[in-house]
Amino acid sequence: MEFTLITLLNGVSYGLLLFMLSSGLTLIFSMMGVLNFAHASFYMLGAYFAYMLSTQFGFWTAFFVAPLLVGVLGAAVERYGLRSVHQYGHIPELLFTFGLSYVIVEVVQLIWGRAGVPYAIPASLSGSLFTLYTTTFPVYRAFMMLVALLMLLSIYLLLTKTRIGLVIQAALTHPEAVEALGHNVPRVFMLVFGGGCALAGLAGVVGGNAFVTEPGMAATLGSIIFVVVVVGGMGSLSGAFVASLLIGILQTFAVALDYSIASLLANFGLMIKAGSPFFSLFNLTIAQIAPVMPYLLLVLILIFRPRGLLGVREG
């Protein structure tokens, strides 16, 4: 029971972090059709900016300022980079963000070095929130969950209750019509791109000290957020939310399952020992393939439901 509850909590909190990252990516994709390969790099920048700011002004300043900085940077990238590439079509855009991700990693290494930086959890948020049986649940994990939920709520309100949100939603499906009505669609694009990057930056601010802030952090999360976006449905925010939680919980629970084909066959009296043919294959446990699960899910979704769980486009 203790194990189940704790693992569920871990899965949900990890899933919520994934959501923070992928929400920006899916917004950008649905608006502009740009698969932003540099998205995880903005996550990394968020963590590094927060590290730098927190050493000077404390964590809370960093918490609010770092995502803004990342957002401004993202908007600048859209305005002066992507927009000029845009006319050449999607492939150059893709290559642009792909190249950008490498540039960002190298710049980060030049400024902060190749090793990780000691970006620590602030004292006010360290310690444990409650004890479940004998396992403590860290305050910081709860804080991460809270931030993600607040973020979800504010994006939802922004998109559905405000004027700019309505313009964004309209531009999603009918950009020409929106432009004809006199809205500045390129500026909306810039805002969305900057906003999406700021969300990634925010994820970096809270994720950077929960895990490790290092130059490799973008690469490790980079691929999994694409899985979230595809599984959830390209451009669907609620889909991204469901997919994030699903992947978070799936991955954490899979770790606990020590079942393999060998143990399954053992139930039927078929013993597979170290000398048997294909032993290494039969002996592979679900726990061992847990990290591969999201990618397996990606492949299966693309085969059986290409538009994703809650996707509306490309039916």
What span, in angstroms and rounded, lies between the C-alpha atoms of 65 and 154? 18
Q: Under the criterion CB under 8 A, does residue 136 sit at the interface with other proteins? A: yes
Which x/- pattern, by CB under 8 A, does the window 23-42 give for other proteins? --------------------
Q: Under the criterion CB under 8 A, does residue 122 sit at the interface with other proteins? A: no
Choose between 114 and 174: whose C-beta lies nearer to other proteins: 114
CB 127 within 8 A of CB 138: yes
Q: Under the criterion CB under 8 A, does residue 110 sit at the interface with other proteins? A: no
Q: Under the criterion CB under 8 A, does residue 114 sit at the interface with other proteins? A: yes
Binder to other proteins among 138, 156, 170, 179 (CB under 8 A)?
A: 138
Categorise residue 80: left if φ over 0, alpha if ψ from -120 to 50, beta otherwise.
alpha
Closest to 42 measured CA to CA, from 101, 1, 90: 101
Quickly count: other Cβ atoms within 10 Å of residue 235's Cβ: 25
Residues 6 or more apart whose Cβ sits within 8 Å of residue 89: none
Q: Under the criterion CB under 8 A, does residue 6 sit at the interface with other proteins? A: yes
Q: Which stretch binds other proteins (CB under 8 A): 110-118, 169-177, 194-202, 301-309?
A: 110-118
Q: What is the 3-state secondary structure (H, E, C) of 130-174?
A: EEECCEEEEHHHHHHHHHHHHHHHHHHHHHHHCHHHHHHHHHHHC
What span, in angstroms and rounded, lies between the C-alpha atoms of 58 and 40? 24
**Minimum CB–partner distance for residue 208 and other proteins (Å):** 11
Closest to 194 measured CA to CA, from 24, 37, 315, 49: 24
Specify the 3-state DSSP secondary structure of 114: coil
Return the residues of window 207-236 that contact other proteins according to CB under 8 A: 211-212, 214-217, 219-221
Return the residues of window 243-262 that contact other proteins according to CB under 8 A: 251-253, 255-256
Which x/- pattern, by CB under 8 A, does the window 77-106 give for other proteins? ------------------------------
Q: Under the criterion CB under 8 A, does residue 14 sit at the interface with other proteins? A: yes
Binder to other proteins among 80, 87, 111, 131 (CB under 8 A)?
A: 131
Strands (E), the chain: 128-132, 135-138
Q: What is the CA radius of gyration of the chain?
A: 21
Which x/- pattern, by CB under 8 A, does the window 259-288 give for other proteins? ----------------------------xx
- Total residues contacting other proteins (rule CB under 8 A)? 40
Binding site for other proteins (CB under 8 A): 2-3, 6-7, 10-11, 14, 113-116, 118, 120, 128, 131, 134-136, 138, 140-141, 211-212, 214-217, 219-221, 251-253, 255-256, 287-288, 290-292
